[in-house]
Amino acid sequence: MRHWLMKTEPSVFSLDDLRRKGREGWDGVRNYEARNSMRAMRVGDPVLIYHSNAEAIGVAGLAEISREAHPDATAWDPANAHFDPRSTPERPLWDQVEVAFVRAFPQLVSRDDLQRIPAFSASLLWKRSRLSVIPLTDAEFAAVLAVAEGDQRARPERAAAVRIRSSGQGSGRGPSPKRASR
DNA sequence: GCCAACGTTGGC
DNA sequence: GCCAACGTTGGC
């Protein structure tokens, strides 16, 4: 299973918006590398949702792929901001995937937090600052999730309690994600 | 195939 | 709102 990070501007579409809608077609991506990453996505792949260009920058929570790559119809809609005349229904150039909400983190894993995670230091997020769909290694994904769940940053006095609670079987995570069906 | 010009992204 | 970084376009 692969892991991903997808950027979104929360003023345009936030994790809260995704929570409300349940799922969303991730259209408007107009970069070949990002498109190719989306083509490699499989249903169930976990996706970190990253808020960019915002007051609070960082990973807000977790989503998952609920539908694999298929043509992005906004590309052949002249009224759409991401219109690209090179793409047609007969020969689609751009794809989208559908993303389903899983859960919001109790607290944003901020860009600063991310920069302090050793296992995240080589991430493409830093090397390819303009890329909006980024593959993550297992270790990168796990490290971000550990910080999000352990949440030992702002409240170190609570870290021990969190550790004790999560050492049982119940991990304290939220309800299981809405299942992505067909 | 190079690379300057251009437009956009995204942190600050 | 600014502007550096950087991906893309297009002339040669």
pLDDT (tens digit, 9 = 90+) per residue, A126-179? 999 999 999 999 999 999 999 999 855 555 554 454 454 444 333 333 333 333
Model's pTM, two decimal places? Answer: 0.84
CA distance A121 to A162: 25
CA distance A159 to A51: 25
The H-assigned helical ranges of chain A are: 15-21, 32-40, 111-116, 124-127, 138-150, 156-167
A126 CB and strand C closer than 7 A: no
A85 CB and strand C closer than 7 A: no
A129 CB and strand C closer than 7 A: yes
Query: What Å value separates CA A129 and C1' C7?
Result: 11
- How many CB atoms sit inside 10 A of residue A163's CB? 11
Low-confidence ranges of chain A (pLDDT < 70): 151-182
